[in-house]
Amino acid sequence: MRPDAPINDSLVVDYVDNSFESQGDFASGRNAVAASIIQHGQIVGHPAWLLGIDGTGVIIASADSGIDRDHACFRDATEPGASGSEWNNATGTPGTSHRKIIFLDESIDDWDTQGNEHFTHGTHVAGSLVCRSVYEQAAEDIQDWVNATPGEGTALSHGAKLVFTDVVGDDGWVVPEPPVLFSTAAENGAVIRSDSWGDPTTNYTERTRQFDSWLHSVPWALSIVAPGNTGNEVQEPANGFNVVAVGVAKKDGGDDLWMLTPHSPTSQGRQGVEFVVPGVSIISAAADGEHNSYNDGWKSSSGSSMAAPQAASAAALIQQMVQDGWIGGSEERDEVVVVRPGWAKVVDGNLSDGEIMLSEGFTPSGSLLRALLSLSAESMEGGRQGSILLGPGPDDSQGWGLVNLTRLVYFDTIERSLGNIVIDPSANVWIHDSFRLEDDNWQELVETWTEDGNDPADSGWSGEGAAGPFLTTGSRQSWVMPVIEGQDIEVRLAWSSNPYPDLDDLDLIVQAGGDWYHGNRFDGWNSSSYSAPGLGEQNSTLEGVRISANKLLGVDSITVTVRATELGGLKDQHGVVGIGGDRVGFALAVRGVYRDDVVPETAWVIESPQDGTVDSGLLWLLLGTGVLVAVVVAIEAGRGRIEGVDGVGVTVGQHSNPQGDSLPSAEAPHTGEEE
């Protein structure tokens, strides 16, 4: 969409694709550049893939214009009758045994169909999420490692699988209500959703509210949405407070942003984008609309539609690293032999075998994935978006910066030392997730909440079986963390909130020596320091603190505190987590500390809705922080919050389908695609 295009209900999407068939070296490695930048900030090399980190074990959900299922990215066999083919059907039937597509909803349309709106858009997006050429897979099956090496169009998370809903048919875009999309994802094991569409409006629509409501009610969900190519404000539903809007970086390894990526705060006062990834000249699968052509063509496209699946792919690699125990908390770790893909030593003959230390993994919440994505992001200070000179961030243009996964796991260090010593891949990164389940049975739990069409907001869940803590208004929880000399400290706090405007307000407070640092209050790259604890930013569900190593001289440890300053909305369900409840969970990710030596300052218990147990977080508040609370109250007037835009409320919009009665129009959504 043109940045100066008027926003109205009859908007016709204005975008142009530059499509081509791959011809030898003409486009060789161009998509691999985006994957390389996200893995380690360089334009060549894929160190995460060489260690088997490719999204394996992760499922991603998406809804779009359809998927060309016989493309080499997705089909089961190279040709009819070949290994993996269903008799003469090389495409295969979507399901749990399919190579790529474990669930497909084609109730609206059955393909990425020529003549339909935004033909090829869905196939391109799906390819960016999970593409692994069937020819490479076939070569791997027979241990032909040279031809199994990832080539053109390979997705960053090529080990992941896909849940897909076709939402474009003869009548145009017919987008189901958000609970339908999210429940389909959850039923099939997908935590991550990637959607590259929305309405051309910056209003907080009823659809945005439903996105926020689901994400607050079901913790194991992450929604990444293309914000549109506006060059200005983020469009719906990417403007939700629990939704991740991703910006577009160029694909040259530098610090410049694409001209049309959004660079303004939302109309509700939220930071524009959360982080950026490459989204320019992204090469992925090209649809031909034919059911049995067994095509393998590629096309190049640019825009936020292309950035969103790149970001979701990065989230998939992080989910895998948490599930497999590469990133964890202070729990014990075991020695595990590194399992590389068979083709790895074809790429680099100097690779060594060896052991690393991994913890017991778990399924991360959407909040933890957000915290880790933003922690991985690297400042683009000095770069430009047209005439705009980028500062250190976070800001509306770059968010927290360009995603670089080597800031979470030092891939290059692992390779240098592997085989000589047993490696701890992330000894300086500590995480905590209130929603970590003891039995890791999140799918079963969500199924009980949604059976018979029930709204998960009515689950009445107390947090039972989860790690906790779950905070009430006025309560807090703190951890003491030994710092690593010479390393900067970076902290991220993420949570899901009640929908706008009744936001749940948590504050991140870090004490280092005699200084106090507050979430999202910065003086240049460093967080601003204060002589007493105060308040962070209100219009956000993601806060961060950064303290450079030279400000930590003589400091042995820091104390990180999460405080529930005020939970919004009607909280009439005592002991319940989520909408209507008086409890909220969160996730923390910290870089620059001795992970194994982090300890909570106090213990906590999880209170059920039926009993009268007082959780230890509240006890700690009542018995140990009377003076601290008094100080906060005294200085609150002097340190005002960043408030939302006055008079901006919820808009309903028009129906997106004949059955809907509250969703905005989606007949001609922005798709965030522009060349």
| Residue 610 pLDDT | 52
Side-by-side strand order, sheet with 505-512: 526-530, 515-523, 505-512, 557-566, 476-482, 599-600
CA dist 588 and 608 (Å) reads: 23
> Quick one: CA torsion of 287, 289, 295, 300, rounded to 10 degrees?
-20
Pick the catalytic residue from 22, 36, 40, 64.
64
Residue ranges of the chain with per-residue pLDDT less than 70:
1-31, 607-675
| Residue 670 pLDDT | 56
Handedness of CA 281, 670, 311, 191 (dihedral sign): negative
pLDDT digits (tens, 9 = 90+) for 414-471: 999 999 999 999 999 999 999 999 999 999 999 999 998 899 999 999 999 999 999 9
| Residue 280 pLDDT | 95
CATH of 21-329+367-409, one of 3.40.50.200, 3.65.10.10, 1.20.1260.10, 3.40.1830.10: 3.40.50.200
H helices of 200-250, in order, are 206-217
| Residue 27 pLDDT | 32
Residue 256 designated active-site? no
Domain ranges in the chain are 21-329+367-409, 429-644
Tell me how far the alpha carbon of residue 235 is from its chain's centroid. 18
CA dist 514 and 345 (Å) reads: 51
CA dist 535 and 645 (Å) reads: 19
Residue 64 designated active-site? yes
* CB distance 591 to 375 below 8 Å: yes
pLDDT digits (tens, 9 = 90+) for 221-270: 999 999 999 999 999 999 999 999 999 999 888 999 999 999 999 999 99
| Residue 116 pLDDT | 87
Return the residue matching tokens 């935004």.
Answer: 118
Task: Indicate the DSSP class of residue 17.
Answer: -
Q: Which residues, other chains included, contact 600 with Cβ-Cβ below 8 Å and sequence gap of 6+?
A: 477, 478, 479, 480
CATH of 429-644, one of 3.20.20.70, 3.40.50.10190, 2.60.120.380, 2.40.160.40: 2.60.120.380
Assign 293 to helix, strand or coil: coil
Return the residue matching tokens 């919050």.
Answer: 641
Q: pTM value?
A: 0.89
Paired sense of beta strands 59-64 and 101-105, if any: unpaired
| Residue 672 pLDDT | 65
Residue 305 designated active-site? yes
Q: Which two tokens stand for residue 40?
A: 């380690």
Handedness of CA 86, 88, 93, 98 (dihedral sign): positive
CA dist 175 and 171 (Å) reads: 11
Return the residue matching tokens 């100080």.
Answer: 631
Q: Which residues, other chains included, contact 4 with Cβ-Cβ below 8 Å and sequence gap of 6+?
A: none
Pick the catalytic residue from 40, 71, 118, 121.
121
* CB distance 415 to 58 below 8 Å: no
